[in-house]
Structure 1
Amino acid sequence: MNFHKSFQTIDTQVVGEAFRIIVQSPIMLMHEDILEADHQLNTQFEDTKQQLLNEPRGHRGMNGCLVLPSAIASYRLLFFQHAASTSFKYEALVATLTALIEQGTVELSKNNTYSIETVKGVYEANAKLSEKRDAVLSVHLILKPAYLEGEQVIIDNERRYMVVEKPRQIKAIVLEELAEISTWGLLESEKYSTADGIIMYEQLDGSVRSVTFERDGYILRSPGVDSTLALIAVLGEEAVKKNDSIFDSSIEIIQKHEAGYEIALTGYITGIHQFVVDREDPLQHGFIIV
């Protein structure tokens, strides 16, 4: 064995989606400006990012998070991801805040409100803690509504989604229909190549069940915060009080505020890892199977 790299990570999941928070790695960013730091992260360190995201250490559904000190917020959060994934996910705010609080690496706020600096702006999150204040029960976010532009739904003036009702040939959005759902998603992703994702939905009593395909046809492992906002824009607030995934996770709208919709999500730490890279490993950069 001849190790020439090592990484330490905290892995988490939020409503089924996996996030890998980098604790120690060769990635070193010293920029005061977050846009400069983000540019360096997304144009350099390609080997390291592949080793952290790709199999056998990661997988197609893994999302990378880098937590740094911030001069204007509780912490700074940068993202790196697979090419077909969106460059920003609200679930990552929940994943990182949960891990930082439960690992004792962020100072506890007296009012349980934390600010997170990202390239999209500074977001506020309210953490509901256990009685001993050592576990995060949920993280509350208030999100701006999405809007329609032609046949696409726009999230945060940036991310674009197609929203399509379940076709008749698919009996229901359930795991038993996964093969046919997957085939449909691959074809639709090619058809709507300008969209960041395709959302298939079916309406239920008082809720919606949906499945979201990313740009390469990969099925998102959660109901998706973006997807929930997109469905509200298309179907209305009354129809989308809850968005269920094909994997039985869900996102509920807690209430509507003047600024947008309040949601509450719970993150869970799934592992604390140390990874290494052997110089002689022929698969050290990994691979991806969608």
Structure 2
Amino acid sequence: MNFQKVYTATDVHIAGEVFRIIDDVPFVQYGSLKEFDEQLPSVFLEEMALLLNEPRGFAGINGCLVVPPFTESGDAAAVFFNHEGTLPIHYGGVIAVVTALLESGRLKEKTAGEYFIETVQGVIPVIAVKEKEQVVSARMALGECTVVKTDVPLLDASYTVVQADQRYALFDNKALGLKIELSELSTVKKWGKNTLQELKTNPDIQGVILMDDEALVQGKIKTVTFRKDGWIVRSPGFGPTAACFASLLSRGGIEVDQTLLNESVYGSFLESKAHHDRKVQFAVNARAFITGLQTFVFDPTDPLPKGFLIK
């Protein structure tokens, strides 16, 4: 075996969604995090494919690079990417980064438990609670989340347009009668594929959420979120959770200061809460788990140097 390149990474999952935090940052000059983010697709393209695509990765994995902060108040800076390119922000990735840095000792524990991660969209504060060398919970405020339009007709249903971390088409399951259960996943996936196909005429929609609020009186909902490429988000999703909360608030289904649990089709949870601070602000509580400290190698004789994705 010819080890031409060797890469190390920390794998972390939050409610089932996987983040690969890669230690090998490309040696390029950059004056700002935005400049580094802009350079990444050209200087790190082969590595992004190698480390996210199968057989080393899979369709649902997210990548992340951590670099020193640019401000005195920042604890670290992070750039996120997936199979399609860089991402301006990934809320789950921010918590994954804080957890990995704290549990590995690369980030010094603070008495107040507040840490600041710089992203292309600004500095994100995270409140992390650490017990016995493990981060047992982390809470972060999300960006603005707004209901843009309601009752948009599509086929035999209608949807609500919500702007969160991206723009979502949110469908209420009452009119559809689907079961958000793992045993019914093939039926749900078929619905998602057909819905995304119909929404191709609306380029602003970047994701589709199917929400079941049957247990809302207990403060619980179940959701499935489809990315624009058709893949299901492996967790309930930070942006989708806030989008559902904003929609429910707008129609009086839930009150500010209530806690909302969002359960994924896989049985994982994210906890969200809203409060008034001149405008409604959303926060999500979650816990991340380190699943592996990985070493990857690239052999130039490998017939799959860029990997592959099965769709």
Do the structures match in fold with TM over 0.5? yes
Give 1:153's aligned residue.
Answer: 162
Calculate the aligned-residue CA RMSD, in Å.
2.0
What is the alpha-carbon distance in structure 2 between the residues aligned to residue 140 and residue 257 of structure 1?
17
The residue identity in structure 1 corresponding to 2:211 is: Y
Give deviations 1:10-51, integer Å, cap 9, x for gaps.
Answer: 0000111000001126x2243131111100013332111100
Give unmatched runs, 5+ long, in structure 2.
150-159
Give deviations 1:98-117, integer Å, cap 9, x for gaps.
Answer: 00000001122221111010
What is the alpha-carbon distance in structure 2 between the residues aligned to residue 29 and residue 12 of structure 1?
26
Give 1:51's aligned residue.
Answer: 50
The residue identity in structure 1 corresponding to 2:196 is: S
What is the alpha-carbon distance in structure 2 between the residues aligned to residue 85 and residue 23 of structure 1?
17
The residue identity in structure 1 corresponding to 2:271 is: E
8 Å CA contact retained: 2:161, 2:167: yes
1:224 to 215, 218, 237: 237
Give deviations 1:152-195, integer Å, cap 9, x for gaps.
Answer: 21125xx1110012276654110111111111111212222321
Give 2:226's aligned residue.
Answer: 213
> Does residue 278 of the first structure (1) align with residue 296 of the second (2)?
no
User: Secondary structure of the equivalent of 2:4?
Assistant: strand
Give 1:11's aligned residue.
Answer: 11
Distance change (3 Å), C-alpha of 1:48 and 1:28? same
Between the two proteins, the alignment pairs up a number of residues equal to 285
What is the alpha-carbon distance in structure 2 between the residues aligned to residue 220 and residue 85 of structure 1?
17
Give 1:244's aligned residue.
Answer: 263
TM-score when normalising by structure 2: 0.86
Give unmatched runs, 5+ long, in structure 1.
none
8 Å CA contact retained: 1:41, 1:80: no
User: Secondary structure of the equivalent of 1:241?
Assistant: strand
8 Å CA contact retained: 1:170, 1:181: no
> Does residue 198 of the first structure (1) align with residue 197 of the second (2)?
no
Higher mean C-alpha deviation, range 120-129 or range 142-151: 142-151
2:285 to 246, 264, 269: 264
1:184 to 167, 173, 191: 191
8 Å CA contact retained: 1:15, 1:267: yes
Deviation, structure 1 residue 71: 2.8
8 Å CA contact retained: 1:22, 1:65: yes
Higher mean C-alpha deviation, range 237-246 or range 109-118: 237-246
User: Secondary structure of the equivalent of 1:3?
Assistant: coil
What is the alpha-carbon distance in structure 2 between the residues aligned to residue 190 and residue 110 of structure 1?
50
What is the alpha-carbon distance in structure 2 between the residues aligned to residue 103 and residue 210 of structure 1?
33
What is the alpha-carbon distance in structure 2 between the residues aligned to residue 74 and residue 35 of structure 1?
17
User: Secondary structure of the equivalent of 1:24?
Assistant: coil
8 Å CA contact retained: 1:14, 1:95: yes
Give 2:31's aligned residue.
Answer: 32
The residue identity in structure 2 corresponding to 1:180 is: T
The residue identity in structure 2 corresponding to 1:98 is: T
